[in-house]
Amino acid sequence: MDKILVHGGNSLAGSIKISGSKNSALPILAATLLTREPCTIHRVPDLSDTHYMLQILIHLGAQVERASGIVTVTADKVQSVAPYDVVRKMRASVGVLGPLLGRCKEATVSLPGGCVIGDRPIDLHLKGFEALGAAVRVEGGNVKVFAPKLAGAVINLRGKFGPTVLGTDNVMMAAVLAEGTTVIEGAAQEPEVCDLADFLNKMGAKIEGAGTRRIIVEGVSELHGAEHDIIPDRIEAGTFLVAGAIAGSGVTVNRVEPKHLTAITDALSGCGFKIEAKNQAITVSPNGAPKPLEITTEPYPGFPTDMQAQMCALLSTTEGISVITENIFPQRYMHVAELKRMGAQVQMEGSTAVIQGVERLTGAPVMASDLRASAALVLAGLKADGITEVSRVYHIDRGYEHLDEKLSELGAHIERVKA
Ligand code: EPZ
């Protein structure tokens, strides 16, 4: 397993081009199952998660062509069973349930395992499918859904932790070919849900209200092929802005959608950093001593849970007491123990982290555990004394396109050691 060595102390400067969004590409690639015609998707990031999704589509019978970031999928004939050995690698594989149910009126997908950020139930997805008329059975580690026909319904998809992103995606994809109108109340408002709805509408679906809590889907008889550009990855952009805050003298992220990042740029402004947004670029610059902050993760447009670990790394060396409360995945603190190995002072109180900023962290061997925690450890190493050795970097490669290379381009002293 590869390792990343971060030699702390270099200052970052310059600009970086942000890739297409992982969390938009995954459901959009799944949505290509809804038509037998070719679909061409641009700016698909080169990640292990997108590779896994393409493997699943191929397993289901689709033809896939990939030329750098452009992927063409033709799902002329599909079968509706996605087995464990394919699904287990990536939880987002559950996102094929909705399109398979819509297209084939049945689907069998292995239940996703839990992961280090917590139990990852899909009860809300299944509630939505049942409301559309599907029968749901869980047996032998698989979830089976089938429906003689799908009929529009009014569905509330809000759970005790708020809306579900992939649940909203899945139900939307099952509803586009249902008879009649479906209303999804309590829908997720993330930009990635909007991007999926935009793609489905290009395929001939009739979806209104994406981006609000209420999405209305008018069922149609079939969908046709379409071409689509994936939106920029707001979490990758946020990760580089935090890197610039930790160790930068002026870092710019290019090809971003600033309106998707306001919760992140507001937080960095709250820490005292200078933020300049212009067209499709945002620059973060130091502006005096950073200030401590209180952050609570919330569904979009609130502060994203996927940026919580990265902010932990920044606030660990921000003088004063900062408080982070994680409302979406209360256990999402695998990075804290590793940051403490580097000298961070963090006190956990349930799903709240109380951080006493220290002058400097010290480089140490640390272990990546999930995608965003891993990125946070690399960021922490940028300003730490000495070398931070991050192992199990396959977690990083799941969701970041060449993170180490992009940080090197900004001036970081960082190397990947092939194990
Ligand atoms: C998506 O996961 C993202 N993944 C996650 O990003 C992100 O953290 C999450 O949304 C929240 O924003 C992709 O888009 C591929 P949820 P998703 O359903 O859809 C609970 C990353 O780092 N819940 O919105 O799986 C759930 O346990 C990844 O890129 C139920 O209770 O998350 C959680 O507490 C990590 N029942 C909350 O809702 C359900 O049926 C939000 O989960 C579904 C979810």
In degrees, to the nearest 5, what angle opens at C-alpha 130 toward C-alphas 199 and 115?
A: 70
So what's the pLDDT on residue 140?
Answer: 85
Owner of token pair 């555990």: 369
Percent helix / strand / coil, the chain, rounded to 5? 35, 30, 35
Q: Do 106 and 147 contact (CB within 8 A), yes or no?
A: yes
Which pLDDT band holds residue 34 (cuts at 50, 70, 90)? very high
- Tell me the pTM: 0.97
2-18+232-418 and 22-229 agree in CATH topology: yes
Q: Which CATH architecture has domain 2-18+232-418?
A: Alpha-beta prism (3.65)
CA of 358 to the centre of ligand 1 (A): 32
Residue 14 has pLDDT above 90, yes or no: yes
State which of 28, 166, 195 you would mutate to test the pocket of ligand 1, scoring each by most atoms of that ligand within 8 A of its C-beta: 166
**Residues 27, 192 contacting (CB under 8 angstroms):** yes
Q: Are strands 281-285 and 274-278 parallel, antiparallel or unpaired?
A: antiparallel
CB 297 within 8 A of CB 325: yes
Give domain limits for the chain.
2-18+232-418, 22-229
- C-alpha distances in angstroms, 353 versus 133, 181, 306, 339, 340? 43, 44, 15, 12, 12
Tell me: the pLDDT tens digits for 360-394? 999 999 998 889 999 999 999 999 999 999 999 89
Rounded mean pLDDT, 317-338 = 96
What pLDDT does 369 receive?
A: 85
Peptide bond into 330 cis (omega under 30): no
Give residue 141's pLDDT band: very low, low, confident or very high (50, 70, 90): confident
Q: What is the pLDDT of residues 65-116, one digit of tens each?
A: 999 899 999 999 999 998 788 787 888 899 999 999 999 999 999 887 666 7
Q: Which atom of ligand 1 sits closest to the CA of residue 118?
A: 27
pLDDT at 248 over 90: no
User: Closest Cα partner for 330 from 160, 159, 118?
Assistant: 118
Bridge partners (DSSP) of residue 297 are 303
Residue 305 pLDDT level (bands cut at 50, 70, 90): very high
CB 74 within 8 A of CB 62: yes
How large is the average pLDDT for residues 127-131?
Answer: 98
* Mean pLDDT computed over 155-169: 96
Question: 9 with 385: CB under 8 angstroms?
Answer: yes
Amino acid at 319: E
Question: What architecture (CATH level 2) is domain 22-229?
Answer: Alpha-beta prism (3.65)
Instruction: Retrieve residue 317's tokens.
Output: 């060396």
Is the minimum distance from the CB of 122 to ligand 1 under 6 angstroms?
Answer: yes
- The number of the ligand 1 atom at minimal distance from the alpha carbon of 120 is 27
